[in-house]
Amino acid sequence: MNNRMHAARAWLSLCACAVLGWTASGAHAADAHAKDRDALWKQVHDMCAVKAGQGVYPPAPCIDVQPGQNGYAIFKDRDGRYQYLLLPLARITGIESPLLLTPDAANYLARAWSARLYVEAALDAEQSRDVIGLVVNSPMGRSQDQLHIHIDCLRADVRDTIKRLLPAITEHWNWLPEALPPNQHRYLARWVSGADLKINPFKDLAHALPPGDSMAMHSLVVIGAYSPSGKPGFVLLSGRVDVANLDRGNADDLQDMGCAIARRVTSL
């Protein structure tokens, strides 16, 4: 176990009694109008950020807060034992926000990829990069109006399908040749090389959309992957809202809250 993993485990132990957690899954989007869609923002802005500013750690209900102009918080989602959320400290409603496309916009998805260590710590084992996925739902497919990035394991059938389709995924956004499980929704896909996420996927997707399309109609997914030759990289996915086919753009159905594909250390 590396030092970062050890530190994350120690931090989670410290935070366990103080963090209440929150459910922000797209699976609850149908109840969005019955809920306070700013509830998550209020907890991060009014509680986590304030406590962090006072030097209180853990800054409950968050696990961690990284302050600054492009600061963010790490939040334990109640919906799933291993799922964490990354949220900007700035008021950014979601994928549709133009604040994500400004020249000085933070690469929050790159920060979320680094924060996968919290999932690994909860699993008590480092994971292959193709185990973890990051998800941002569309406005129609989410229950909260503060940008939150779901960090969790992929479904095994999603990982296997992506691996099989890798030869068809290029460095340009194109529709995958087949739909993805479990709901057979269609996704645009793009390959990005490198162990770290050097590009900003929000900006990259926005630049690729045709005239008349908008980010508000899309979800965005970042999946750790290996090229057919074994080199590290990422597969970016974007689903588009399609009400006729019951696709609300809640791409977190690609994740598995039980982390069935994860490696676990078994104590003898």
Sheet holding 84-88, edge to edge: 62-66, 72-76, 84-88, 149-153, 132-136, 220-226, 232-239, 187-193, 174-175
Q: Over its length of 268 residues, how does the chain's per-residue pLDDT go in tens digits?
A: 454 454 455 445 444 434 445 455 544 433 443 489 999 999 999 999 999 999 999 999 999 999 998 999 999 998 889 999 999 999 999 999 999 999 999 999 999 999 999 999 999 999 999 999 999 999 999 999 999 999 999 999 999 999 999 999 999 999 999 999 999 999 999 999 999 999 999 999 999 999 999 999 999 999 999 999 999 999 999 999 999 989 999 999 999 999 999 997 654 3
Query: E strand or H helix at 135, and its extent?
Result: strand 132-136
DSSP code, position 152 = E
pLDDT at position 265, please?
67
Rounded CA-CA distance 44/158 in Å is: 31
**Residue 130 near residue 226, CB atoms below 8 Å:** yes
Amino acid at site 198 = K
In this predicted structure, what is the pLDDT of residue 80?
86
For residue 27, the model assigns a pLDDT of: 41
Domain boundaries, the chain: 3-254
Token reading at 37: 């869609």
**Comparing C-alpha atoms, which of 150, 111, 145 is closest to residue 132?**
150
The answer to whether 192 and 236 have CB atoms below 8 angstroms apart is yes
Which pLDDT score is estimated for 4? 44
How do residues 200-236 score in pLDDT, each as one tens digit?
999 999 999 999 999 999 999 999 999 999 999 999 9
Determine if the pTM surpasses 0.85. Answer: yes
CATH number of 3-254: 3.30.428.30
CB 5 within 8 A of CB 126: yes
Q: What are the two backbone dihedrals, phi and then psi, of residue 63, each rounded to the nearest 5 degrees?
A: -80, -40
Rg (CA), the chain: 18
- The secondary structure of residue 37, as a DSSP letter, is T
Residue 198 DSSP SS3: coil
Contact at 8 Å (CB) between 95 and 147? yes
